[in-house]
Amino acid sequence: MDFLKLIIPKFKALLKSILKYEYLHYWLSGGRASTKSSFIALVLVLLMLIDSEFNAVCIRKVGETLEDSVYNQICWAIDLLGMTKYFQFKTKPMQIIYKKTGQRFYFRGCDKPEKIKSIKCKIGKLKAVWFEELTEFAGMKEIRTITQSIVRGAENTLCFYSYNPPKDGKNWVNIECERVKSNRFVSKSTYLDVPQEWLGSDFLQEAEDLKNNLPDDYDNEYLGKISHKTLNVVKNFDKNVNIRNIIYDPELDIHLTCDFNVDPMCWEIAHKTETKYFYFDEIVRENTYTRECIEEFAQRYKDHKGNIIINGDASGNYRSTQSESTNYTIMLNVLRSYFNPEKVKLHIRDFNPPIRSRINAFNEKVKSRKGIIGIYISPRCKRLIYNCENLKYIEGTSKIASPTINEIARDPELKYMVHPFDAASYLVEYYDPVIE
């Protein structure tokens, strides 16, 4: 069997690179029927046949999915190469053994990573790992716990990763794929690279129907493109553009924009011009009240000369986190005791606008439809930046996904989701609402 006839032309150069061990990491990204997983399976079998030291482990996030995915994929590749009689196939434990030498394919779920690290080859060395459906994994930290133990002290090792790019442009896989690493090669393929006779008329018709009716879904599912309809609330946020060092100027007006939550309390601090917003500081406190937060602000900026303008959540004008008065009354009283009362101002709406209005106003400033940048954030505002990068909608809805109590218990950082963005977006919507 001519091996090159079993792979698409696009993968021929990739095969040569792999056989030379030119890179440690090979990322194969592609849409439906791009043959990326089939190619990896065929290559792993080939490497075992030509290298008597070669063993491999195939990994899925969940162990229960192994048999119906990577295990069957390796079986298929062996059969396609006409080598079935030379291998032994076991499911308990799940292994495929090359009878001639005792070399093995191991199969593991990442739900029990200790079983991956403890693999001891009976013959030769563990020289390859394949992560199938990479998007199921939690992130590179989880991946590294496995790869580091496999490549430690080894030479001519290969790590394969196969996945369909998620729709969400800010998904960790899409972000990691764009990082340039000298020991990583990224291959992208689609069904358009595959001979049509391999796919069949029914598959091609399904693809064409989706292309005509739901082009965004087609682009993601079949072409492996990142969808423009991401789940991210903040669109087009670019840390290389929107994040910059901002110098506080005591002569300029300072805007303190607030969201009122007892735990945590999240306020953002900014300068602004006619068209741009510069967030340079934030106050984020747990287990606190309005008075403690505004006292902290007054101490931080006790030498401020310009106006101090309070913006934010309209509800702060008719309810309070304390019993003595409303939130804004507390803030005004404290600030006017520290600063010139005439320079302390309150700019809020009578009632809060719809959340959608705040989101649209903020996004138009992050990057407008004409490509103009109107929001800059200092690295000091780490909670606001985290929100800009990670705040998402609940899939299939226009509602922002707020972390549950159980999620916060697992990851305490999630308690800072939503509130910093709310505070920041109140400011933008007040001065620059988007008229739809």
What's the helix, strand, coil split of the chain in %, to 5? Answer: 40, 20, 40
Please indicate, yes or no, whether residues 14 and 98 belong to a single structural domain of this protein: yes
CA distance 202 to 205: 5
In a domain, 272, yes or no: yes
**DSSP symbols for 346-403:** E---SSPPPHHHHHHHHHHHHS-TTS---EEE-TT-HHHHHHHHH-BBPTTSSSB-PP
SS3 87: strand
Please indicate, yes or no, whether residues 299 and 205 belong to a single structural domain of this protein: no
In a domain, 232, yes or no: no
Please indicate, yes or no, whether residues 123 and 186 belong to a single structural domain of this protein: yes
In a domain, 84, yes or no: yes
10 contacts 4 by C-beta, under 8 angstroms: no
Residue 426's domain spans which residues?
A: 239-431
Q: Count of CB atoms within 10 A of residue 85's CB? A: 7
CATH of the domain at 270: 3.30.420.40
pLDDT tens track, the chain, 436 positions: 689 999 999 999 999 999 999 999 999 999 999 999 999 999 999 999 999 999 999 999 888 889 999 999 999 999 999 999 999 999 989 999 999 999 999 999 987 666 676 688 889 999 999 999 998 888 888 888 888 877 776 678 999 999 999 877 767 898 898 888 999 999 999 999 999 999 999 999 999 988 988 787 888 889 988 765 567 899 889 999 999 999 999 999 999 999 986 678 999 999 999 999 999 999 999 888 899 999 999 999 999 999 999 999 988 876 555 556 889 999 999 999 999 999 999 999 988 888 989 999 999 999 987 889 999 999 999 999 999 999 988 866 778 888 888 888 888 888 999 999 999 999 999 999 987 5
Amino acid identity, position 270: A
Q: Strand pairing of 125-132 and 158-163? A: parallel
**What are 159's two structure tokens?**
């790590």
Residue 135 CA to its chain's centroid (Å): 10
**Closest to 187 (Cα-Cα) out of 3, 10, 9, 6:** 10
Please indicate, yes or no, whether residues 189 and 157 belong to a single structural domain of this protein: yes
373 contacts 362 by C-beta, under 8 angstroms: no
Please indicate, yes or no, whether residues 47 and 136 belong to a single structural domain of this protein: yes
In a domain, 436, yes or no: no
Cα–Cα–Cα angle for 308, 310, 311, nearest 5°? 140
The reply to whether omega before 93 is within 30° of 0 (cis) is yes
**Closest to 101 (Cα-Cα) out of 114, 120, 82, 88:** 88
